[in-house]
Amino acid sequence: MLIVNPYQPFRLEPLAAETKLSIGQVSQVIRRLQDDDLVERKSDGCLLTKPRRLLRLFAQELMSDYTRNRTVFSGFRRRSPSRSRNSFVTFVKEKISATHSPSEAVLRPTSATFANS
């Protein structure tokens, strides 16, 4: 809401109604934005003074949250891609060395092959 009209003053009541938050919640957010020097209170309302900085902080927070909470799934199991690659390479090498001939290797993974990786 603030980003849409960054340099237009706003009052808490209309902002609370628009965002469907309580006036108290909106007031806390505005206070936090003031502490971060992003919003300035004036006689005609609050004014977002640094919209680019707010967007940058928001993007950084989203990226941090994504990085902290993401989970990579590989084949229905939680496993890093490098670990899956290493397991596969080890499996292929074992099959090739067991048959002494790459053309004779039967590449059928078993559950035990990937359980230890």
pTM check: above 0.75: no
Query: Partners of 41 in the beta sheet?
Result: 46
Q: What is the pLDDT of residues 50-76, one digit of tens each?
A: 999 999 998 998 888 877 777 665 555
Integer-rounded Cα Rg, in Å, for the chain is: 28
Q: Is residue 92 over pLDDT 80? A: yes
Q: Which two tokens stand for residue 112?
A: 């035990």
* Burial (CB count within 10 angstroms: exposed 0-12, middle 13-18, buried 19+), residue 26: buried
Q: What is the mean pLDDT of the chain?
A: 79
Please give the torsion angle defined by the CA atoms of residues 54, 55, 57 and 60, in that order, rounded to the nearest 10 degrees.
180
What is the rounded CA–CA span in Å between residue 112 and residue 117?
Answer: 9
